[in-house]
Amino acid sequence: MQLLKILMSLALVFIGALVATETGSVLAGVVAIPLASYAVTATTGVSLFASHGLAVATLAALNRTPQQTVNPGGGRRLFLIPTDQITGEWPKRADITAGELTVVPTLVTGPPVGTFVEVQVSDNSLKVDEALKGPTGYQSWEQSLEVKVAGYTKDQVAAVEKLINTEVVAVAILNDGQRVVLGTSLSGLQFEVTHTSGAKGGDRREWTMKAKNDGYMFGYIPLGNALAIAGVTLA
């Protein structure tokens, strides 16, 4: 079929040249080519210049928070799970309906049994971020979170050790009560952890935990209000 199209296209060029020669008009020859192509398509059903076309983009209205409605920033609770405690891919784009996750993860049955664990947030320090990056045609999402945990104990040291070379999926509860999911089981968040003792009695002695990754198909996504996940509270 491809060879036939090439031969027929060459024939169209020949027809155009012939018309231009016979009429003495280059314009007539140029016009003859698409007319002949249309005649071929109408007769044979074969389009010599088929176009695959482009999808037409559509947009949706992006409204701000209504007046007389609170819009608190920050988060109040954080839950983590290692990516290898989730069976299959979660969350994925097909799990998102009308802007929220409607599917819960399938956790491994163990041992150990898959479950989220809580990182206790100190002094309103939890924040989550997302960024759509890249030029048109190459864009993807970056997701990140940051949280501070007060203190320095052997139990905290042991818990931080568990994060070494471990990617996680996170669920954060924001201060407006929304639960959002960061990371996926196929591409988890990766932590960097620091600790400071402070220099004097009034200084903050605390852990600072930062996690991020990029190349995501979506930013952090709200979790359906009624969905129950092991280890994650509803508020």
Q: Is pLDDT at 87 greater than 80 in this prediction?
A: yes
**Residue 32: DSSP 8-state:** H
Mean pLDDT (whole number) for 210-223: 97
**pLDDT band with cut points at 50, 70 and 90 for residue 184:** very high
Question: Dihedral of CA 75/78/190/222: which sign?
Answer: negative
Average pLDDT, the chain: 89
Total residues belonging to the chain: 235
For residues 69 and 105, is the Cβ–Cβ distance under 8 A?
A: no
- Radius of gyration, CA atoms only, the chain: 30
The Cα angle at residue 76 between residues 72 and 82, in degrees rounded to 5: 130
Q: Tell me the per-residue pLDDT of 10-67, one tens digit each, with 9 for 90 and over.
A: 776 677 677 667 777 766 656 666 766 666 666 666 665 555 556 788 899 999 999 9
Token digits for 27?
């314009």
Nearest to 170 by CA among 153, 193, 187, 158: 187
Q: What is the pLDDT of residue 166?
A: 97
The amino acid present at 114, given as its one-letter code, is G
* Residues 161-177: tens digit of each pLDDT: 999 999 999 999 999 99
